Structure 1
Amino acid sequence: MTARTDVDPARRNQWLFPSAARVVRPADVRTLLPIDPAVRWEQGDLLLAQVLAPIGRIDRVENVNRCEGLAFHDAELHPGSVTVVVLAPRAGTHTCIAEVPKQATELLHLHGVGGQAGLVVPGSQHTSLYRGPPTQVRVLARLGDAEGRAINTRSFGEPGDATPRAPKPDDPQLVLVVGSDMDSGKTTTARRIIYSLRAMGAPVVAGKAVGVGELAELCTMFDAGASEVFDFSALGEPVTIDLPRKRVLELFFRVFHRLRAAAGKGGFVVIELADGIWYPETRYVLEDEAVRRSAAHIVFACEGVLDAEHGLAKLERWGYAGKIRAVSGRVAGSGLLRAHLPEILGGRYPLFDALDYDALPETVASLFTGA
C-alpha cells in the first residue's frame, strides 16, 4: 500500500477489533495509511494486520467489533484473518518479553488476547508455560481518522481527575487485591470479595489499575456483582508495562476516582493490581503515600508459604500492616496450607479459599465490614 485509502465501512465490519483498543470506536477509523519507515512507532498506535500461518501461542482475540459495553466475541484466529492490533510491550514471568519496535516493520508478534502486538524477544518465553512460536501478523497499514491522522489509543482516553485526595468519612472503602506474581489468584480473589460484599447488600464497583488490558477479567468482576467496572484501557493504555511512575499513578487515581464516584456512600471499590508486588508498575502504586492513605484494606494472593511470608513482610514494610485483611489465591486452595499457614504466619492474618462458594459470604465480607 503506497497511498492513503478511505476505509470501506462494510469491510471494516469484518475486521477483528480487539478489546485493548476498545477506547477507539471502529467508526472512528476512516482511512488506511501507508507504512512510512521514517515515522516512529509508539505504544497505542493502531495497525491493520493479517494473521500468518501457522497460528502460534495466541489463537484468538477478544473481538469488540459490533459489540456494546462489556460484550465481546472470543474470535478464533485463522491464517489470513484480518485484525486490528495495538502496539504494546509485554513482560510476564509466565509468558514472554515483547517490545514495541521503534520503527516500521513488516512483521509483528501478537502477544495478548486484547490484540496487543510487538516483537517477542528471542529466548524470553517461559520454557514450559509459554512454549511454541508466537503468532505472527503482517502489517497492512496504519489506521487513520477522517483527516488522515494516525490513530493512537492515548488520544481517545476518557478524561478524568488524577489528583490524590485524602479519604473522607463518607467515602467508599478501597480494597486493593495484590499478589506475589502472575497467576497467583488475584482476579479469582477479587471476584470472591465482590461476590461476598454484594451478597451482604453492599454497593460494590471494581476495576484494574495496572496490568495487561483485556475484557475477560472485567467481565468476571461484573458477573460477581460489581455494578460498574473500569480499567486503564478505557484511559487509552493497552498495557501499563514500562510506563513511568508519574503516568502509572495518574492511571491509578483516575481509575479510583471514577469508581469511587460510582460506588457512593457506604460502598466498596475493589481494585486489582497486576501482576506481582515486585513488578515496577505495581510497586509504584503500593509505595505511594497517597495510595497508602487511600487504601482501607489489602488482600494478598499468593502461591506458597514462602510467597506469603516474604510478600506480607514487604507489604508491612511499606506501611500496610494495619490494613492487610487476609491471604488468599492459590495458596488457600490447599487444605494442608489452610490448616497450617495461619500458624506459620503467627496468627496475624486469616486465609480464605476464593473458589469455595459453599462457604458463607458473611465470612469473607466481615473481613471488610467488621460485622
Structure 2
Amino acid sequence: MTTTALPPTHTSFLDDALAALAEGATPEVLPLAGDPSAATTEQGTVVTPVPTERLRAAKKAYTTRHLAAHLDDSDGDFTLVSGEDVTPRAGQVVLARVAAFGHHKKLPDVHGRRQTLYPDDEVLLAYAPRYAPDQFEAEVPGSLAMTNLAAAGGLAADVVTQHGSTNDPTVIEPLGLVADAGGTPLQLTDVAPFSVTPAAHTPATDAPGATTEPPVVYVLGSSMNAGKTTAVAQIVRGLSLAGLRVAAGKATGTGAWGDPGLFHDSGAETVLDFTDFGHGSTFRMDLPEIEQLVGAVRRELVATAPDVVVVEIADGLYQRETSHLVRSGLLGRNAHRVVLTVGEALGAVAGVAELRKHGLPLAGVTGAITASPLATQEAGEVLDLPLLDTYALAEPAVVRSFLAL
C-alpha cells in the first residue's frame, strides 16, 4: 500500500496556543499588532541619537535600499523618534525588532537575496499600506505600537484582512522612526534617486535629431496574478532579441525586488519602479499623485532614449488606482499599445470591453490564461483580438507583429 504525505495544515498563533493548553503547558503570550511597544511607552515625543553603525548593521528591505546607500555614504548623525505622540506616515522608515514569526520569515535585501530572519533581529522597513487580494490588506497604523511585516519587500503596516490560505502575519516591534540629527523623520522621497518633479536635465528626446518619443507599451491585468509581470518580461525579451533597446518599469504596486529583477534579466537596459521615486507602495495614494507618479516613471524611462518603453500597471482593472488610470485617460493619451493579461475567458471579455470603453489602443490579450489550452480556446472563440501565449511574446517576429512595432 502506498501512502502519500500530506502537507502541513495552516496554523496560527492561536492554534499554537490552544495546542499548548491541551498539553497542559502555559502558552507563550505572543504579541499582536496594536499591542504597546517600547516606542509607545514614553510620553510625548522622544528624540534619541542612534549610532550610524547600528542602522548599517540592521537588515534592510528592498523598499529601504536607497536609505541603505545613504547610510553607507553619510557621515552625518541620525536619531530615532519615538513616544506615544508619534504618528507614522506612509514613506517614513522605522527601525524595528522581529517579535513573532508568521507568514514572512525571510526579507529580501537591497539586492534581492532572501535574508533569513531571526527573533530579535533589527530591520529597516518602510511604513506603507498594502493591497494584495491573495495575501494581505494592510494600513499604516496610528502609532508606533506593535505592527506587522505586511510584505516581503519590507512594508510595516497593520494587517486588517487576509486571504484564507495565508498564515498570520509576522509581528514586529517598532523601536523608532529613523530621523536626521534634528529629529525630523526621514522620508523615502528624501533619499530616492528620482522625483515626480521633472528632472532638470534635457530629455534625450529633445536632443538634436530626436523628434519623437519612443513608443510606450502598457501592460495591465484583469486581476492580481493575471500574468502581467511575466508578460512584460517576455515582451522585453522578444524586443531585445529583435535588436531593440528596451526600457521597462513598474509604475504602481507593492515594492518587491522580483519584478524589476526579472525585467533586467530579460534584457531591459534601463529598469525603474515606483520605489525609485520614494514610494514603498502606491496603494491609497491620492489619485492626482498617482497620475504624476506614472507620468514620472514614463518620463524617466523615455529620457534614456530607448527604442521602446514597456510599463506594468499593477493589480486588476477594478482596483482603485488602476481603475482611475484607465478612466482618467492618462494611459490612452500616450500609449502606443496596451496589452491585457487575464486568467480566464470571462476576465478577457470583460477586460477588453472595459479598456475599449475608455479608448485604449489594445494590441491583444495574453497572460495566465494561456497556460490552459481549454481556457484559451474558450476565450479565443469570443474575442476579436489576438490571444497569444505569453512565452510566444519572446519571439522577435511575434512580439513585433503583436505590438505593431
Q: TM-score, normalised to structure 2's length?
A: 0.81
Pairwise CA RMSD of aligned residues?
2.3
1:42 to partner: Cα distance = 0.7
Task: Give how far 1:207 is off.
Answer: 0.4
- 1:91 matched residue in structure 2: 131
Match 1:18 to one of 57, 61, 64: 61
Q: Displacement of 1:18 after TM fit?
A: 1.0
The answer on whether the counterparts of 2:144 and 2:174 sit within 8 Å (CA) in structure 1 is no
Given that 2:291 and 2:330 are in contact with CA atoms closer than 8 Å, whether structure 1 keeps it comes out as no
Partner of 1:49: 96
1:209–1:255 contact (8 Å) kept in structure 2: yes
Counterpart pick for 1:145 among 155, 174, 180: 180
Larger Rg: 2
Alignment partner of 1:75: what SS?
strand
1:50-77 residue CA offsets vs partner (Å, 9 max, x unmatched): 1123x2111222212xxxxxx3321121
Percent of matched pairs sharing the same residue = 29
2:269 aligned counterpart, secondary structure: coil
Stretch moving more, 234-243 or 18-27: 18-27
Alignment of 1:161-180 (within 5 A): 161=197, 170-180=212-222
| In 1, Cα distance between equivalents of 2:402 and 2:238 | 10
Q: Is the 8 A contact 2:139 2:157 kept in 1?
A: yes
Looking at structure 1, the residues matched to 66 and 243 of structure 2 have their Cα atoms a distance apart, in angstroms, of 32
8 Å CA contact 2:94–2:174 kept in 1: the answer is yes
Residues in 1 aligned to 2:278 and 2:395: alpha-carbon distance in whole angstroms: 39
Give the corresponding residue for 2:119.
Answer: 79
- Which residue among 220, 244, 266 is the counterpart of 1:202? 244
Separation of aligned partners in 2, 1:170 and 1:94: 41
Contact 1:99–1:119 (Cα < 8 Å) also in 2: yes
The answer to whether 1:125 aligns with 2:162 is yes
Residue number in structure 1 paired with 2:388: 352
Query: 1:258-308 CA distances to partner (integer Å, 9 max, x unpaired)?
Result: 0011134xx111000011111111122122234312011111111001000
1:161-213: CA deviation from partner (whole Å, max 9, x where unpaired): 469xxx99621111000001111110000000000011101111000111111
Cα distance in 1 between the residues matched to 2:399 and 2:153: 32
Structure 1 length-normalised TM:
0.88
Deviation at 1:17, TM superposition (A): 1.2
> 1:344, CA displacement in angstroms?
1.6
Matched, 1:330 2:368: yes
Moved more, 71-80 or 22-31: 22-31
CA-CA distance at 1:366 after TM superposition? 1.9
- Superposition pairs for residues 1-371 of structure 1, below 5 Å? 4-24=47-67, 25-27=70-72, 30-53=77-100, 55-64=101-110, 71-105=111-145, 107-121=146-160, 124-128=161-165, 130=166, 132-157=167-192, 158-161=194-197, 170-264=212-306, 267-320=307-360, 323-345=361-383, 348-355=384-391, 360-370=395-405
SS of aligned partner of 1:49: strand
Shift of 1:125: 0.8
| Structure 1 residue 342: Cα displacement | 2.1
8 Å CA contact retained: 1:205, 1:259: yes
Tell whether the 8 Å contact from 1:352 to 1:364 is kept in structure 2 after alignment. Answer: no
Question: How far, CA to CA, are the matches of 1:296 and 1:351 in structure 2?
Answer: 18
